[in-house]
Amino acid sequence: MLRRISFLILLMCLLGLSRPGAASGVDEILRAYDMKPNIRNGEKVYAKCVSCHHDKGWGKEDGSVPVIGGQYAKVLIRQMADIRSLSKEDNPEMYAQADPDKIGGAQAIADVSAYIASMAGDANTSKGRGDQLELGKNLYEAKCRQCHGDQAQGDVLDFVPKLKGQHYAYLLRRIQWIGSGNKKNSKPIMVIRTKSLSAKEMEAVADYISRM
């Protein structure tokens, strides 16, 4: 019970109950989190995702679509619920695909998230230029390692996503969005640590992470 209360408090802080639709997002996350996933149904739901994320969840090298294969199910549940509650950054294409009338309710989210988590990550993701890796390493150690881990493995209990095995261009765009405040569900510490980075530094840390 104590763990569940702590979990709910964490979600409220992450989503922010002052945002329109955020309360329903918390409710949907909690329901999906508690449900036993049906992997076979998740595979059927994922058929609606293949056109963008591809059959193995490898996304697109240009960074327009991220690698999601192998991501933590709880992280995916939160992201899906964020999109459906409109508490995440605007993503009209994803909202249209994730609409409850199209894929189903909380059970469908639990199912497809578990299916995606069971996929293998992409071993051939796109990389940056490779000429600022020492700078990128130093920045990662100083600003990212505390939350994302020594190998960018994330933390499922704290809803910190895996960054390893992700496309460089997608990582760079995310870092830019966080620093500019456009990623609405970012933790305040992420915004603080990212907004001070120069364009060169953002490129360097994204390149370094893309090779982990």
Q: What average pLDDT does this structure show over 108-115?
A: 95
Q: What average pLDDT does this structure show over 67-81?
A: 91
Instruction: For residue 184, name the pLDDT band (cuts at 50, 70, 90).
Output: low
Topology alike, domains 2-117 and 133-210: yes
Does residue 1 or residue 126 have the better pLDDT? 126
pTM: 0.82
Beta carbons within 10 angstroms of residue 51's beta carbon:
9
So what's the pLDDT on residue 28? 73
Beta carbons within 10 angstroms of residue 80's beta carbon:
26
- The CATH number that domain 2-117 falls under is 1.10.760.10
- Whether the predicted pLDDT of 5 surpasses 70: no
Does residue 15 or residue 167 have the better pLDDT? 167
Highest mean pLDDT among 14-23, 85-94, 114-123, 151-160: 151-160
Query: 116, 111, 33: which is closest to 67 by C-alpha?
Result: 116
Domain 133-210 fold: Cytochrome Bc1 Complex; Chain D, domain 2 (1.10.760)
Can you tell me the distance from the alpha carbon of 107 to that of 156, in angstroms, rounded to the nearest whole number?
20
Residue 212 token pair? 């982990």
Domain ranges of the chain: 2-117, 133-210
Whether residue 76 contacts residue 68, with contact meaning beta carbons closer than 8 Å, is answered with yes
- What secondary structure does DSSP assign to 35-51, as a single string? SPP-HHHHHHHHTTTHH
- Whether the predicted pLDDT of 82 surpasses 60: yes
Query: 125, 33, 17, 144: which is closest to 79 by C-alpha?
Result: 33
- Whether the predicted pLDDT of 134 surpasses 70: yes
Instruction: For residue 112, name the pLDDT band (cuts at 50, 70, 90).
Output: very high
Instruction: For residue 2, name the pLDDT band (cuts at 50, 70, 90).
Output: very low
Q: What angle do CA 160, 166, 168 make, to 5 degrees?
A: 120
Whether residue 75 contacts residue 172, with contact meaning beta carbons closer than 8 Å, is answered with no
Query: 83, 118, 117: which is closest to 100 by C-alpha?
Result: 83
Q: What average pLDDT does this structure show over 26-49?
A: 89
Q: Please report, rounded to a whole number, the percentage of residues in the chain having pLDDT higher than 90.
A: 53
Residue-level length of the chain: 212
- Whether the predicted pLDDT of 147 surpasses 60: yes
Residue with tokens 């990128």: 136
So what's the pLDDT on residue 187? 78
Q: What average pLDDT does this structure show over 16-33?
A: 59
- What secondary structure does DSSP assign to 97-165, as a single string? HH-HHHH-SHHHHHHHHHHHHTSPPPSS-----SS-HHHHHHHHHHHTHHHH-TTS--BGGGTBPP-TT
